[in-house]
């Protein structure tokens, strides 16, 4: 199987992260375009998990999928508590929440000025490569 091209644009990288999350059945995946709202990143990719096991599996899928392109996170947080794992790729920050934690923190509401793109619950063909 041919290796997929390395995502070289922040939106492409964000979409790749979303697709990898969906490959592990993440729920309610959204991409927030925060360019123009803040300079901390270009995109947040947010998704939910129904269990601790799924939370870790989603995070591992993103890390493994991007590692294939030699893309490593600047930092990660939340592995111990497993309620909210953050994968910071500088331009793109991935937030994987346990469903109840996402409802509690309401991160989308905090960034309500951002453009929101809901990602369908089917990975694109590129995610399978």
CA distance 28 to 35: 21
Identify the CATH number of the domain defined by range 10-118.
3.30.460.10
Q: Report yes or no: 111 and 32 within 8 Å, Cβ to Cβ.
A: yes
Q: For position 123, what pLDDT does the model report?
A: 46
Sorted by where each begins, the domain ranges of the chain are: 10-118
C-alpha span between 29 and 61 (Å, rounded): 14
Tell me the pLDDT tens digit for each residue of 7-61. 668 999 999 999 999 999 999 999 999 998 988 999 999 999 999 899 999 999 9
Average pLDDT on 1-9 reads: 57
Burial 37-74 (b: 16+ CB within 10 A, else e): eeeebbbbbbbbbeeeebbbbbbebbbebbeeeebebe
Indicate whether 102 pLDDT > 50.
yes
Q: What average pLDDT is seen over the chain?
A: 87
Rounded to 10 deg, the angle between the 52-67 and 10-22 helix axes is 140
Q: Tell me the whole-structure pTM to 2 decimals.
A: 0.86
User: Distance between CA atoms of 17 and 42, rounded to whole angstroms?
Assistant: 13
């Amino acid at each position: 199987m041919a290796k997929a091209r390395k995502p070289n644009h922040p939106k492409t990288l964000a979409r790749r992260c979303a697709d990898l999350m969906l490959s592990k059945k993440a729920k309610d995946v959204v991409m927030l375009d925060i360019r123009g709202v803040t300079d901390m990143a270009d995109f947040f990719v947010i998704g939910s998990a129904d269990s601790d096991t799924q939370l870790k599996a989603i995070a591992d899928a993103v890390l493994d999928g991007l590692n294939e392109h030699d893309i490593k996170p600047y930092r990660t947080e939340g592995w111990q508590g497993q309620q909210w794992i953050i994968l910071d790729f500088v331009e793109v920050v991935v937030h994987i929440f346990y469903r109840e934690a996402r409802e509690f923190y309401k991160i989308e509401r905090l960034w309500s000025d951002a453009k929101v793109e809901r990602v369908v619950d089917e990975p694109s063909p590129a995610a399978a490569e």
